[in-house]
A and B are shown apart, each in its own frame.
Chain A
C-alpha cells in the first residue's frame, strides 16, 4: 500500500513567520507530486504539480521543491499571513495508478 507521509501534523505560527512542511513518499515508480490547500468550509485547491526531480514551483509567497530520488517534497511559506491558515495536502501519483493523499499539515497563523 502506497504511503504518503506529511509532517508536522499541525503547526501554529505568528504572522510574519516563515514556515515549511514535508511530504515523504516511496521514490520508486514516481509520476507526479501534487500540493493542495484546503481552507475550512471550502474545497481543496491545487497549488502545484511537480513531475521532475529538482522541480521548484512558486506562487506568490508559497514555493515547493521536489526530490524524487530521496522521496520528499518541501512546501515553504514566506511571511505567513492569517489567510494562509489551512490544511496543506500533498498527493502522489504513481504511473497508471491512483492519486494517494497524505493526511495533511494543519497550519494556523496568529495575527
Chain B
C-alpha cells in the first residue's frame, strides 16, 4: 500500500516568488492536513481538508492557501514568499475527518523542504 507522497521533496525559491506543493494521500483516505515545521518550533497547523472542503484553518496569513481535489489529492500554495517561509512542510492523511472521528491517526508524508533566499 503506497504511503503519503509529497512533491517536490526539496525546492529553493527567492523572496517574492510563489510555490505550490502537492500531496497524494493513502488510497482511501479522504482527509488531508498540512503542517509547517521551522527550527525550534513544533508542527504548526496550516489547513485540513475533507472531501474537497476546508474543515479547519490555522493562524497563517492569507498568502498560504490550499485546496483538495476530487481524488483527495491536495495542494498548498504560498504566494509572495518571505524568508520566514523557509520550512519543512508536512502533509498527513487520515481516513476520517475532524469531528467525525477525532481518533483517526495521521499518516505523514516525507515532507517538502522549502528554502527561500
Contact = CB atoms under 8 A, between A and B. Distances in A.
Given A44-B90, A101-B42, A51 B98 contact: no
Report whether over half of chain B's contact residues are helix, strand or loop; otherwise say mixed.
loop
Interface string B42-83: 111100100000001011000000000000000000000000
Contacts of B92: 44
Interface residues of B, number: 27
Contacts of B114: none
Contact of A99 (B90, B106, B111): B106
Query: How many of chain A's residues touch chain B, expressed as a range?
Result: 20 to 34
Interface string B23-52: 000000000010100000111110010000
B110 interface: yes
A43 B42 contact: no
Contacts of A31: 102
Interface of A: 1, 31-32, 34, 36, 42-46, 49, 51, 89, 91, 93-104
